[in-house]
Structure 1
Amino acid sequence: MNLNKFLSGKSTLNEYIHRLNQNGASFQVHYWGVMQKHYDNLLHKHSFFEVCYVVEGEGIYIDDNHTYSLQENTLFLSKPEVLHQIKSEKGLFLLYVAFELIESESSEKWIRIMEIAKQCPVIVIQEKDDTPTTLLWKSLLIQASYRKHAFFEEMLSNIAYSLIISILQNFVPSLNHSNLENVPEVYSLLLTQAILYIHDNLASSLKLSEVAKHFHISGRHLSRIFVSELGVSYSKYVLDERIKKAVTLLKKSNLSIKEISEETGFISVQYFTRVFTSMMQISPARFRSLYVDSKTTEFSDN
């Protein structure tokens, strides 16, 4: 293994690859790392994801008071706000990258994916040296070690994005096609139909049992589809959609607060006001006065 090429590639990546934007996802890459001899570090945490790959060596990884063995071809994930530590007596040859999703520039799908990643129970995976993730990582560093040429940054960005997606596939089950092979394709069709039904009928009660009956399945089945494919409960999804529609109506319509509460399916204007205020940290009336009367055309709760 040519360590000099890896080190040279690291420098180039840190110079050129800071942000990745593709397919509704915008990632901020904080740093790329290659370290030939990584020994002990202090117990610490990050506000972002950090993923390490052990090229050579042995050690241990401590994450949230759990200890894991590290060896050649081990891939491990440090999640945001989780205390962790690496220890090695003889040193580890590590590749690592730190990144986070820029939510304001990313789709809701990707925001949900990253929320699932924050909760994933698997954080250490034993890879092989010829899996897509390891090959992409090594290819990226080798490609970055060559002198700049036509489409140099474009090639690096595409490989780097593919690497991040490949890494996430290892830790987020809903992105891992091998975990979806036993799930009937009708699930995706049912989910699409259910989402359309919810969007078109927000003024209705949308009880889980009633919507499930509409599609001739059980409530338990429908609930499971939302959790497995979207990573969110049915009730949470419906409530979020009610609030989103309420925001739109408050900004773009002349309907009264009471009428909006009815249009979005809340049982009373008082309940609507309480839920809206809790989720948006501002009352519906105050929201309208700030963002409609001031002619604001967009609203972000980030």
Structure 2
Amino acid sequence: MAENLNDPAAASLMETAAPPAGILVSGHFTQPFGYQTYRSQGTRDWLITFTLSGEGEYRLKDSRFRCIEGDMVILPPGTPHDYRTPEGCVWEFVWAHFVPLPHWSAWLTLPQEPGACTRMHLESGARQERVRAAFARLLRDSLELDFYKRQLSLNAMEEILLVLAEMQSRRTGSTLDPRVEEIWSYLSQHRKEPHSLERLAARVALSPSRLSHLFKEQVGESIMEALLRLRLSHAARLLEHTSLQITEIAEEVGFHSPFYFTKQFTARYGSSPSHYRKERQRTLENENEGALPESSGEKPMV
């Protein structure tokens, strides 16, 4: 067995197939000694595992560690990995392969261990129970092909990442100002509505100039830039997963002019909404054609 991915013995390990990138895939495994996943080139998406009980072992490029109940491990795309159930152990864990939505990027800026992985431990209690419940919903909803179930599974994945980001922010003391959090939450829930800096500032009892400065200082972009990003990321999801017309999507995400929507979408994503939709559909079709058919009773490889 290889001690890490630089060990010459690693060449003899069998590569584990990865699910098609771009599709949220998840599972719940209880694996005895002998279970192993090895990918010398990593995957094209992100991989997250959360240990429910027992022990698992990771052997990465520059590190080797075991994970116990409450341990979360996140591997970015392209990270070579080798993880397994240690001898004498049974490892129960949940996992998910995912491609982050645009507005998740800030939440994935988490501390990394050598070997480009993120490790965080959730003590037993409310936070761990919340993550367990979110994974349960993710597992249930990601099995459905229905558009709304898919959105619910993405919401569960988003909740997991938010819990981790919130936990890290409390450790480092870098929590957002409550007034900035209020505005961010309000914009996220009211993307379609028209907004003005004056009305938003009045909502949190600040002057427009003070709110503008505080928001950009803590979030890294202006309020209107953040709103535009939220609207366009939602539009991208609608283009990918619905058959709504471009004009309908523009209106749904808060643009009164389809021309202006197309201009802003093209500037952000590098292609027009119609071209983006065609490319995403083509990519998903190719990935589905390349996926192996499921065998009855056989678990997917995580």
* TM > 0.5: no
TM bin, normalised by shorter chain, reads: 0.3 to 0.5
Q: TM-score w.r.t. structure 1 length?
A: 0.44
Q: TM-score w.r.t. structure 2 length?
A: 0.44
